[in-house]
Structure 1
């Protein structure tokens, strides 16, 4: 086994890809996992490419064999049974050299009186896994704005937003340094909270609140009625304010222009 070989799940996606890029740039030994080799092609010659599906036990167990650190992000379909997902990961990790896991979670810890899916998964992972676990409870990524600047959110409802570059940088540092023990959660909430009216104005448009639909009312209504809880900001958390971590950088470089 190579010293601190780091396996990155979901490396074909937004956050996993950025974590892998951060690690490669710092000369780490990295394995990148994704369902599509074409989406992993940027890592050719820079990392070990492992093409396969998270749901494939044989593939995932094989991918884990060389790792001592793991970046964990999971597909949406696992949230139908987070307990089963945690037990499955515990089984697949058994006998591997993985000692440290950084897991991407959400800063909205309760909505409509219940733990959100990612926080429920945290709890199950903490029960089932013997490894050191760090859950990064992230604010909304600025990239969420690419789904649409106009939503059913109230115009003045403020929520934490953060750059995915900042999240990736933080995750990569913890994976490299293995500087956490036990089961921990860390808030990554960005520089400040934003309302949709503020974000739309920053992008040069006027915010239009959309009506609920039968498909989205269960998600948006608790926010509009203040029936949610956000992970508190930590006074000890002082993010580095690199330019790429800012809303301005996102608006210039990553906001889709067809919005």
Structure 2
């Protein structure tokens, strides 16, 4: 039995479909079972509730061999540590209590770098990894740079302003990864019962791109000129707190992007194993263009 947390998330939906297609027995932990597709509800066990709830995750882990762990976004959290580390504590106790053999989690790049010490959600994600590994369960953190998928939040700006906005240096080349490739990596690890102990598996995409280069590719795919516009961290923080994000979480996001500007995502070496297949151009053609259109 494989337990999947956050099965309606961007990564979780893809992972569930992949594992079901391979015939894997799944147990899904979901706050609202109604958000699951009918074909998923028919073929998987469902545990309703939050996987941060001790009773819920305890039920889910009973008899489980492997768990996919994804801490959900919590913009209202009192701190990044609360959103990642504190949220994960009940699960670690359940892993031990029920003898879960393997856990695969979604985390961030940057371990061992000075930038990671003050990088908001990245710092908290790495601390979450340490917490899970310390439980004694075999653990693989799938560590990722920024997601290509994040650009979908700016479809309105792409349509109306012919631009997208980030705080990243326009000429800084860094990796970006497609969520489909992250899900495929997680599926491979969950189905492989040969690995032991703690470790990381990086998903870096096939190329490093600067925001200027991304804008050029988006322009070519959409058939219209698209600009990249850099916004200051203070402006980003004001926008996020104005949308209801807590002060601590908004500052953590600013700190994370500052760390990325100082090379956080460039620290992991690109290897054949860490180079995932989906190019940014392919993702734009298959995902972004239909969303903008």
**Following the alignment from structure 1 to structure 2, what is the Cα–Cα distance between the partners of residues 112 and 68?**
32
TM-score by length of 2: 0.76
Matched residue, 2:18 = 22
Cα deviation, 1:154-176, whole Å, max 9, x if unaligned, reads: 11112211111111111101111
Alignment of 1:204-223 (within 5 A): 204=219, 205-213=226-234, 215=237, 217-223=254-260
Aligned residues: 250
The CA deviation at 1:6 is 0.7
Matched residue, 1:31 = 27
The CA deviation at 1:24 is 0.6
Cα deviation, 1:25-45, whole Å, max 9, x if unaligned, reads: 111111122212222124121
Matched residue, 1:48 = 45
CA contact (8 A) 2:204 2:275 kept: no
| TM-aligned CA distance change 1:247 to 1:10, over 3 Å | same
Cα deviation, 1:227-253, whole Å, max 9, x if unaligned, reads: 636442253516563xxx332332123
Matched residue, 2:248 = none
SS class of match (1:203): helix
SS class of match (2:273): coil
Greater percentage in helix: 2
Unaligned runs of 5+ in 2: 155-163, 220-225, 238-252
Note if 1:194 corresponds to 2:209. Answer: yes
Matched residue, 2:136 = 130
SS class of match (2:62): helix
The CA deviation at 1:72 is 0.6
**Following the alignment from structure 1 to structure 2, what is the Cα–Cα distance between the partners of residues 131 and 30?**
19
Matched residue, 1:233 = 269
Q: Give the alignment's Cα RMSD to 1 decimal.
A: 2.4
CA contact (8 A) 2:53 2:90 kept: no
**Following the alignment from structure 1 to structure 2, what is the Cα–Cα distance between the partners of residues 125 and 210?**
36
**Following the alignment from structure 2 to structure 1, what is the Cα–Cα distance between the partners of residues 274 and 264?**
25
